[in-house]
Amino acid sequence: MAAEIQPQPLIRKPILLQRVEGSQEVVNMAVIVPKEEGVISVSEDRTVRVWLKRDSGQYWPSIYHAMPSPCSCMSFNPETRRLSIGLDNGTISEFILSEDYNKMTPVKNYQAHQSRVTMVLFVLELEWVLSTGQDKQFAWHCSESGQRLGGYRTSAVASGLQFDVETRRVFIGDHSGQVTILKLEQENCTLLTSFRGHTGGVTALCWDPVQRVLFSGSSDHSVIMWDIGGRKGTAIELQGHNDKVQALSYAQHTRQLISCGGDGGIVVWNMDVERQETPEWLDSDSCQKCDQPFFWNFKQMWDSKKIGLRQHHCRKCGKAVCGKCSSKRSSIPLMGFEFEVRVCDSCHEAITDEDCGT
């Protein structure tokens, strides 16, 4: 009888193409120049650098420009070669790069914020420059006139900014864990809604304008996918990091979400698969499996003469359970849990190999 051959799982590892070094301090942002062998970087050392790949295969700076203040963020539009740079002093400086990327010409400065600019975004279709700052202000300017069009005060310092051109909606994520959606007009804005799903601050946002889905990364190590366009209120949690999520990027043509974490990991999520919605965590004063009181339920503790227990939640059904009734762990890729998470005993028994991705 022939031996059965077990297929080996496909493990793909990224290949390091090049390491670009030279900045003296933290590089806060870097972007690849499309259709060019080039990279643009901004740093705490106050420099803007454009790196081009030479015939030797090495990247060398074709532009080295010193700014008056540390560079905190940037936005680059390849079509117009317009580079908008947010500074630590609250200014946004705008430049046009030459066709050969060997020169950058100043265009204008926006006195956008009272303190460090945290995010900047240039919208070509509307000629708007959107920005957030550590002054807890969201602002937008006209890039043609340089005039400030309006502003909105956020509940905490903003750390994520995305914009949908079709609906003129702006998405703002902040350090409190809140995501705010505004509708922008030429000179005013309307608060549409705000919502929370993370237990930590929002660290990154990413918008898919085709599927109308918003992704948020957080210091609580998770990524949440919010179904904005479907109007279903669906939220799916993705757990693939052991530290805070630092950046998100989305490839529309393959429907892949890329997340980077403080743990040094890069996770590629296939968003072209059906996933189960993450359940809401239920509230209860006692375990919803064995009815043991939780430690704040003094009346039941006194009546039953039992010591109160710590509350946990099953990641599959969302029920409030005690440690004894949720001693099992399991990965649930269909729900976005790539690592083993706490599940109640009854859910653990019901989990199939398909649920575990095996």
Specify the pLDDT at position 2.
38
Specify the pLDDT at position 55.
82
Mean pLDDT computed over every residue of the chain: 86
Give the largest CA-CA distance in the chain: 81
Domain 298-355, CATH homologous superfamily name and number: Zinc/RING finger domain, C3HC4 (zinc finger) (3.30.40.10)
Which residues are 150's β-sheet partners? 140
Mean pLDDT, range 79-105, rounded to an integer: 96
- For 264-301, what is each residue's pLDDT tens digit? 888 888 877 666 666 777 888 888 889 888 877 777 76
Closest CA to 317 of 289, 298, 285, 291: 289
Percent of the chain at pLDDT > 90 equals 47
Specify whether the CB–CB gap between 54 and 60 falls below 8 A.
yes
Is it the case that residue 6 has pLDDT exceeding 60?
Answer: no
Burial string for 111-146 (b: 16+ CB within 10 Å, else e) reads ebbeebbbbbbbbeebebbbbbbbbbbbbbbbbeee
Specify the pLDDT at position 160.
95
Mean pLDDT, range 18-23, rounded to an integer: 76
- For 122-178, what is each residue's pLDDT tens digit? 999 999 999 999 999 999 999 999 999 999 999 999 999 999 999 999 999 999 999
Lowest-confidence pick of 47-56, 135-144, 184-193, 335-344: 335-344
Tell me the pLDDT band of 357, cut-offs 50, 70 and 90: low
As a whole number of angstroms, the distance between CA 87 and CA 98 comes to 22
Higher pLDDT, 348 or 21: 348
Closest CA to 236 of 227, 247, 245, 246: 227
Is it the case that residue 4 has pLDDT exceeding 80?
Answer: no
Out of 3.30.9.40, 2.130.10.10, 2.60.120.10, 1.20.58.340, select the CATH number for domain 154-275: 2.130.10.10
As a whole number of angstroms, the distance between CA 62 and CA 39 comes to 10
pTM summary value: 0.74
- 312 exposed, middle or buried (CB, 10 Å; 0-12, 13-18, 19+)? buried
- Residue 95: half-sphere exposure toward Cβ, Cα within 13 Å: 24
Mean pLDDT, range 208-231, rounded to an integer: 86
Specify whether the CB–CB gap between 322 and 312 falls below 8 A.
yes
Tell me the pLDDT band of 3, cut-offs 50, 70 and 90: very low
Specify the pLDDT at position 97.
96
Is it the case that residue 94 has pLDDT exceeding 80?
Answer: yes
Mean pLDDT, range 109-120, rounded to an integer: 96
CA distances, 241 to each of 13, 214, 217, 255, 270 (Å): 17, 19, 10, 20, 16
Specify the pLDDT at position 248.
93
Percent of the chain at pLDDT > 70 equals 90
Higher pLDDT, 183 or 21: 183
Specify the pLDDT at position 358.
55
